[in-house]
Amino acid sequence: MSKRVLCLLFPGFEEIEAIAPIDLLRRAGVEVKVVSLTSDRKVTGRSNVTVQAEATLAEVAANDFDLLLLPGGPGVKNLRGGGRPAQLARAYAQAGKLVGAICAAPLVLADAGLLAGKRFTAHFSAHGELPQALAGEKVVEDGNIITSRGAGTAVDFGLALVRRLCGEEVAQQVAKAIMLG
């Protein structure tokens, strides 16, 4: 049975941090459901690239996935507003499912109480609220929490998600297919 990922998009998301992992996961045969946090399926990112989500969060059974993917970007304030993403992250973590957050999105994990006692990284802009972030690490995995620094580490992050869901061999095949390394 194919693994399933729920990816949340929100106004001001970082396009690379969403699209690169989505692409890599799909190359690995993972079903990725791209959903809008708002009622509008068209979501514009930080660089004014508009992405058509497949559904809104209200339209999906949000707990029917193996991994919750949270891209970052300057719009993370939109991701933090209302608390639903933090509630989802907490529910995934408590169910032993994977939670991936990149850039400033680990702030949502902090809001959910998931970073206490964990190793993690985040974008330098979030270090004021997350002083324990491991600034020198591209991707940090601690249990079922996977974090990454930002746009420049989006491919590493995506491959880490593939590795966790599909195994090392599949991750290596995807890396080879995109001529990484």
List, by residue number, the catalytic residues: 103
Q: What is the number of alpha carbons within 13 Å of residue 177 lying toward its C-beta?
A: 14
For the beta carbon of residue 12, count every other beta carbon within 10 angstroms.
18
